[in-house]
Amino acid sequence: MGTKLKDIVNIKTIKLRELGLKTLAVDGCNLLFKYTSKIKTKQNYVIQDRLGRPKSHLQGFFYFIINLFERKIKPVFVFDGIPLDTKRNYGKKELKRINFLFKQYKRSDENKSKLFRNKFFLYKFIIEDLMDFIRLFGIPVIRGPSEGEAQATRLVKEKLAYGVISSDYDCLLYGCPRIYKNWSFKRDIIEFISLNDTLDTHKITNEQLIDISILMGNDYFPGYKGFGPVKSLKEIKKFGNIFEIKKEYNLNDDLNSIRNIFLNPYTVSFNPKYQAPNPAVISEYLVNRDFSPKRIKKGISRLMNAYKNIMIKQTTINQYFQ
């Protein structure tokens, strides 16, 4: 998913602790696929509770949040919107995500609920289940009306978040100045991509970066054969923009509409509000989903200690600047 811009963006590795006391918008759907791909049984099945409900995502997010809190990083989670009107078509990216989850959770059990055989219900269930779970930590959650990357980028542009945690390069196309990906909590490192550094290196604009993604292909347009990131960059620098290339190569596609998806994305206003985690309710929630009480207790102890340290540090800084 996303645009394959790795070959032309500037990536550097930094220490996670450098992001302490910063608010980061987290691409929730992107993180969800990471955990549904990796957290499985020995038989390569996604972990489920006794009622057949998927739960591997809860385990992944539980420890992800704890690890962020321990590094004094405040997350705000952003998820893709789901069309409420069934007559509305699902976008290409959304269908990819729905199909991915359906394949991950599909089982041959004939007694499985019919609802869980419905890929659209399954997608809706997992996202809503996850959002309810995250709110128990006192963390703000928003489901954007369209792409989560666009909504997360708006939070950064409005200075409600410092950057976005996502492995999807589409955030750059929406104009997100800072993206973080490929973290290791054990090594205390994370990869950092600066939009401005990338643009300055190649002496291009954000609009030209969007044009590059159109030539090579993105979630909304298949691109053109033979155009990878390097060639697309070269052609954009030579001709200036996608419209001049369209003339040169006699292309007939409506490329302006694709461009506008990134230049004028559909997002909503959102002001993140934080509360204290509710350890008792978190524990009850996880026990009801068949998680080990011993592991839950240990995890919640880490969570609350980390939360207290964040509040102490934040209070100290606020007092210093008063």
According to the model, what pLDDT value does residue 85 have?
42
- Quick: pLDDT tens for 142-170: 999 989 999 999 999 999 999 999 999 99
Higher pLDDT among residues 184 and 32, named by residue = 184
Calculate the alpha carbon distances from 132 to 99, 101, 142, 308 in Å.
23, 19, 11, 23
Query: CA 189, CA 14: separation in Å to the nearest integer?
Result: 6
pLDDT class of 124 with cuts at 50, 70, 90: confident
Q: In terms of CATH, what superfamily is 6-197?
A: 5'-nuclease (3.40.50.1010)
User: Nearest 10 degrees: CA dihedral of 229, 232, 236, 238?
Assistant: 120
Enumerate the domain spans of the chain. Answer: 6-197, 203-263
CATH number of 203-263: 1.10.150.20
CA distances from 187 to 17, 22, 82, 163 (A): 11, 19, 36, 21
N-terminal to C-terminal alpha carbon distance within the chain: 45
- pLDDT class of 88 with cuts at 50, 70, 90: very low
pLDDT digits (tens, 9 = 90+) for 253-262: 999 999 999 9
pLDDT > 50? residue 180: yes
Residue 321: which H helix or E strand, with range? Answer: helix 293-321
What percentage of the chain reaches a pLDDT higher than 90?
67
Residue 86 has pLDDT above 80, yes or no: no
Query: Does residue 310 or residue 284 have the better pLDDT?
Result: 284
DSSP codes of every residue in 31-69 = HHHHHHHH-B-TTSPBPB-TTS-B-HHHHHHHHHHHHHH
